[in-house]
Amino acid sequence: MEGIKGDNLLKDKKVAILGGGPGGLTLARLLQLKGAEVKVYERDFNKESRVQGAIVDLHFDSGLKVMTAAGLLDSFKNVYMRGADKYRIVNKEANIYLDETNDGKEDDFNNENFRPEIDRGVLRNLLIDALLPDTVVWDSHFLSMEQMNDSWELKFKNGTTAFADIVIGSDGHLSKVRPYVTDIQSLYSGTTIIQGEIENPESACPEMYNLVNNANLLAMDIGKTIAAQPMAGGGLTFYAASLYPENWTKNSSINFNNPDEVYAYLVDYYKKWNPVFFTLFKACKQFIVRPLNYFPIDQHWEAKSNVTLIGDAAHLMPPSGEGVNTAMLDAFDLSECLCNEEFNDLKTAIAAYENKMRSRAAVLAKEAIESIQDFASPSEQSIKELIEMFQS
């Protein structure tokens, strides 16, 4: 990785990326390939301190394209989860509507419809291993920053400080960097999911483990859905989704820190479903409740000269399979703009990136908002259309 040359806008600049998720780490890799001086500040104590969550699929024209640009596609091919891109759709009785797990199709990275899955933790480690030593500064829970002439002084919960010429917020939908860019707040989508993870489903809920069969499982009935996905190491992640009033989490009498209370609620809510799904709830020892919010589709702000956002910090939207892919595209576009000698200054480069980012995100967010109700509260017609879409 060579140093910055010529009139590049990042020459002699220190770049701080707040948040060590896929978007932030991808940006660090791309900038280092261009010779930039980069640090990633991550709140986790180390990379083993917590499970990273569900699998993610990378798409031909976004995630996989960026992995190729980062020189990491071969590494990705060595660790992705073969077969996990297949789908199974079942009804509330666990009868199978559609099953791709035995379709006989081979993985083809040249097929634009192939969307290989990878465990989030594995993807994170792949990206970290591709960075220069000590790029990621662990145990760096960002609190605030203060403008110091043309630079920023960053302050962290552990009492440390750092200085950077450019700050990029990659710290998710609750971003603490976003207020330095815009005061636009998120809106509630009408959907809430209750999420759980099971480390040993093969023994804890074997019937459910076999029903998932290392695929993306969608169990759908009028008004509610359960989705389940494999995790690296044989685990499962699941999401129980439906429409709930805003602030339902706070206003309900459920103690979501008590697994027995959440289990009792879910069994009652899904009481007409096959009891095989109850074994999934019973095997879960900790639940997370997540109201799904989004930033307004038409959001706009004036570009700053030394701070910007990528990923959910910039354009939070309901889950649609595009989140990680869009964050990685953000990273690619921002790295290209910041290292483009055609721009006269950083503010112009950041403005060009943000205009492109917002335009793309607006289209994807509109699609996500329109489809989230069909996922969380499907009708007979939407279930039929979903099955026909997969069959085609």
Q: List, in order, residues 6 or more apart from 300 with CB less than 8 Å away.
A: 358
User: Do residues 308 and 169 make contact, with C-beta atoms less than 8 angstroms apart?
Assistant: yes
Q: Is the pLDDT of residue 15 over 80?
A: yes
Tens of pLDDT, residues 161-171: 999 999 999 99
Same domain assignment for residues 137 and 218: no
Query: Looking at residue 297, what is its pLDDT?
Result: 94
Q: Could you give the percent of the chain with pLDDT greater than 70?
A: 96
Same domain assignment for residues 247 and 196: yes
Tens of pLDDT, residues 223-273: 999 999 988 788 899 999 999 999 999 999 999 999 999 999 999 999 999
Same domain assignment for residues 281 and 318: no
Chain-wide mean pLDDT for the chain?
A: 92
Q: Per the domain annotation, does 89 fall within a domain?
A: no
Query: Looking at residue 246, what is its pLDDT?
Result: 94
Average pLDDT for 189-195: 95
Q: Per the domain annotation, does 95 fall within a domain?
A: no
57 is in an annotated binding site: yes
Pick from 166-175, 187-196, 317-326, 355-364: least confident: 317-326
Q: Could you give the percent of the chain with pLDDT greater than 90?
A: 75
**Which residues on neighbouring strands pair with residue 192, listed in sequence order?**
242, 291
Q: Per the domain annotation, does 101 fall within a domain?
A: no
312 is in an annotated binding site: yes
Same domain assignment for residues 276 and 303: no
Same domain assignment for residues 135 and 220: no
Q: Per the domain annotation, does 227 fall within a domain?
A: yes
Tens of pLDDT, residues 333-369: 999 999 998 999 999 999 999 999 999 999 999 999 9
Average pLDDT for 191-215: 94
Same domain assignment for residues 158 and 286: no
Q: Looking at 253, 275, 294, which one is the last position of a domain? A: 294
Same domain assignment for residues 244 and 357: no
Domain count, the chain: 2
* Cα–Cα distance for residue pair 311/291, rounded to 1 Å: 18
pTM of the model: 0.92
Same domain assignment for residues 166 and 37: yes
139 is in an annotated binding site: no
Q: Is the pLDDT of residue 90 over 50?
A: yes
Same domain assignment for residues 27 and 147: yes
Query: Looking at residue 111, what is its pLDDT?
Result: 86
CATH number for the domain that contains residue 47: 3.50.50.60
CATH number for the domain that contains residue 193: 3.30.9.30
Average pLDDT for 134-148: 96
Same domain assignment for residues 340 and 260: no
Same domain assignment for residues 213 and 252: yes
Q: Per the domain annotation, does 331 fall within a domain?
A: yes
Q: Is 164 helix (H, G, I), strand (E, B) or coil?
A: strand
Pick from 44-48, 75-79, 117-121, 243-247: least confident: 44-48
For residue 280, CA distances in Å to 120, 211, 229, 327 come to: 21, 11, 12, 31
Within the chain, where are the H helices? 22-33, 63-69, 73-79, 120-129, 201-204, 206-212, 248-251, 259-269, 276-283, 312-315, 323-338, 346-376, 380-391
Q: Per the domain annotation, does 327 fall within a domain?
A: yes
115 is in an annotated binding site: no
Same domain assignment for residues 281 and 325: no
Residue bearing the bigger pLDDT, 85 or 205:
205
Structural domain boundaries enclosing 215: 189-294
Residue bearing the bigger pLDDT, 50 or 74:
74
Q: Per the domain annotation, does 103 fall within a domain?
A: no
